[in-house]
Structure 1
Amino acid sequence: MRISPAVATLTALALIIAILPVFFPTTFYYRVGALIFVNGLAVTGLVILIGYAGQISLGHAGFAGIGAYAAALGPVHLGLHPAWCMLLGALLSAGVAFLIGRPILKLKGHYLAVATLGFGILVFIVLTNEAWLTRGPDGIAVEDLGLREAARAIGLDLRAPVLWYWFTGIVLWIGALIALNLNASPSGRALRALHDSEVAARTAGVDVARYKLAAFVISAVYASLAGSLQALLNRFVTPDVAGFLHSVEWVTMTVLGGAGSVFGAIMGAALLTALPQVLTVFQEYEHLILGLVMMLVMIFMPDGVLPTLVRRLRRRKT
């Protein structure tokens, strides 16, 4: 009986999430794991946009900023629970992505990249300058999500980093499930068709503009939820969450692991999130080594870490 790639990916991801805590000596590692899962959620959305639809975005951190500040400001100004604010931020991001996506996605290549970059910078500037609402560069505290209280209600008394590890892990798994199901659906086939050739896809009857916009909106929701989770995890947020470098970091994670693979992109997120923690022992050489690793991967594994490894394993078997 042949197991489908989607089932294999989801099973492997669930096993990794479940088994990793066995090797954690302290609760600090639970926090690193939660950060990996948050970044993994964002890059899963970018797989839909970049890997499936073939569109580039250098401004997705802008949607993370919307989600993060929705989680921070919603309880203060609207009196909503942070969980509802996460959903509100996702809906707001989807609406913004729909509005700006229609004109932006008419562009291609580096023009599209620059346009999305401009959106991210615009969000960053608004969050920085509108101090009357966002507290400006100083940032703002974020209300507790209430995971410990919810856990105690069912008889569990776990520390916050442990709860956040499991919570973000479950959210990531659900996000991966949705992305993989989308890939296997007729819509996923249409996205892959326009990734290969928009002209051929249009000739085959694919509504190119509609599918490109749908991929952009869905990936924006993923980024918004990742931003909300990051803000709630840290209990504090600054405009840097919408910064240009954050967008570049997510795109790098996606491409490094393999833009066409959900599991590969999550691997890229794990690598670039955990590696700086490992390289702290090298102090001033940390960024040098990190940059060298990224360069070597791109030179010798241009398709990404996971696709290259899978291809080489298949060659050995044959």
Structure 2
Amino acid sequence: MMKLTSKQATLLVLAALIAISPFFFPSGYYFRIGALIFVNGIAVTGIVILTGYAGQISLGHAGFAGIGAYACALAPIYLGLHPGLAIVLGAAISAALAYLVGRPILQLRGYYLGVASLGMGILIFMVLSNERQITKGPDGIDVPELGLRALLKDWGLNLTNGEFWYAFTGLCLLIGAWIALNLYNSPSGRALRALHGSEIAARTVGVDVAKYKLQAFVISAVYASVSGSLLALQNKFVSPDVAGYMHSIEMVTMAVLGGAGSVLGAIFGAGILTLLPQALTVFAEYEQLMLGLVMILVMIFMPQGLLPSILRKFRGKDE
């Protein structure tokens, strides 16, 4: 019997969860929650590449999500682009901006890098909030239909709006996870993990540290942009909050909570942090307090993240 590789096992588990979960949904509302988990999962997969692989930190990645979201809102209006092509445009703009901004700020380390990236995210948020003539400011702007659901209906596949976005975002997440997992064992992935361990040691063995840090930053920006685009298209509306500071913090928290060194762990963290507010509605007045308490307990008792810690415990029992 052929033994599955780690990459194959991760993709198989992820695909199985996406396919099986709808059978346990008590109502159609949970298709929307599932799609939101997948959108967040795409964003945190990018954080895994930047933080888990390369060991860099960004507190401004929601800015790239904002670029992707507003590309889908504005490109059809001002450029006449189809919303699907607007996703590509948003990703290209995010990649170009990440390249230009990343060159100087990635020379910084530790919390200096975090603060610099935070400043970048705040600037993007301010532009989206203040350019009222173009973005409609804090009031937000409507986003046109993607149109793919209607096309599927013509082909005989009649899905509700929730079912369509669940399936579509789930497929996008699988593709994003596949790319990230392929990167892990590639020459570039090994170089990223080397500089995560020690930049000095990586430089000693010939790794171009600046090049690979910038590469990780650009790739993670594209992931964030695509997640923002999908969120905007799903909601058919976008406001500057998508590029807000708290959204950046949520991305990092999801990745760290589940396990920033693992694609499946980070997606697991995205699922937990997306579902937790739904579960804590019975504690409406104390929701933020309960959420913070859960996160503190995880960081104290499971510092490497929920999923890696749980798997390590089971392996220890088996041994």
Same fold (TM over 0.5): yes
Alignment match, 1:42:
43
Alignment match, 1:64:
65
Alignment match, 2:201:
200
Q: Deviations over 1:231-256 (max 9, x none)?
A: 00110000000000000000000000
Q: Does 1:98 align with 2:99?
A: yes
How far apart in 2 are the matches of 1:198 and 1:3? Answer: 32
* Alignment: residue pair count: 318
Q: Secondary structure at the match of 1:259?
A: coil
Q: Deviations over 1:158-194 (max 9, x none)?
A: 1101000000000000000000000011111110000
Q: Does 1:31 align with 2:55?
A: no
Alignment match, 2:312:
311
TM-score by length of 2: 0.99
Q: Which amino acid aligns with 2:134?
A: L
Aligned-pair CA distance for 1:198: 0.4
Q: Deviations over 1:241-288 (max 9, x none)?
A: 000000000000000000000000000000000110111122112212
TM-score by length of 1: 0.99
CA contact (8 A) 1:64 1:223 kept: yes
Q: Secondary structure at the match of 1:125?
A: helix
CA contact (8 A) 1:59 1:244 kept: yes
How far apart in 2 are the matches of 1:159 and 1:221? Answer: 28
Q: Deviations over 1:179-224 (max 9, x none)?
A: 0000011111110000000000011111110000000000000000
Aligned-pair CA distance for 1:2: 3.0
Q: Which amino acid aligns with 1:159?
A: T
After superposition, residues 229-244 of structure 1 pair within 5 angstroms as 229-244=230-245
After superposition, residues 237-252 of structure 1 pair within 5 angstroms as 237-252=238-253
How far apart in 2 are the matches of 1:165 and 1:151? Answer: 14
Q: Deviations over 1:119-156 (max 9, x none)?
A: 00000000001101100000000001113212112211
Alignment match, 2:294:
293
How far apart in 2 are the matches of 1:131 and 1:221? Answer: 25
CA contact (8 A) 1:257 1:265 kept: yes
Share of identical aligned residues, percent?
A: 66
Alignment match, 1:183:
184
After superposition, residues 112-123 of structure 1 pair within 5 angstroms as 112-123=113-124
Q: Does 1:253 align with 2:254?
A: yes
Q: Which amino acid aligns with 1:173?
A: L
Q: Does 1:4 align with 2:5?
A: yes
Unaligned runs of 5+ in 1: none
How far apart in 1 are the matches of 2:15 and 2:306? Answer: 20
Q: Which amino acid aligns with 1:9?
A: T
Spell out structure 1 runs of 4+ moving beyond 4 A: none
How far apart in 1 are the matches of 2:25 and 2:197? Answer: 42
How far apart in 2 are the matches of 1:150 and 1:164? Answer: 14
Alignment match, 2:165:
164
How far apart in 2 are the matches of 1:19 and 1:219? Answer: 29
How far apart in 2 are the matches of 1:204 and 1:313? Answer: 36
Q: Does 1:215 align with 2:216?
A: yes
Alignment match, 1:149:
150
CA contact (8 A) 1:147 1:160 kept: no
Alignment match, 2:86:
85
Alignment match, 2:269:
268
* Structure 1 vs Structure 2 CA RMSD: 0.7
Aligned-pair CA distance for 1:312: 1.2
Q: Which amino acid aligns with 2:275?
A: A
Q: Which amino acid aligns with 1:151?
A: L
How far apart in 1 are the matches of 2:20 and 2:312? Answer: 26
Q: Secondary structure at the match of 2:108?
A: coil
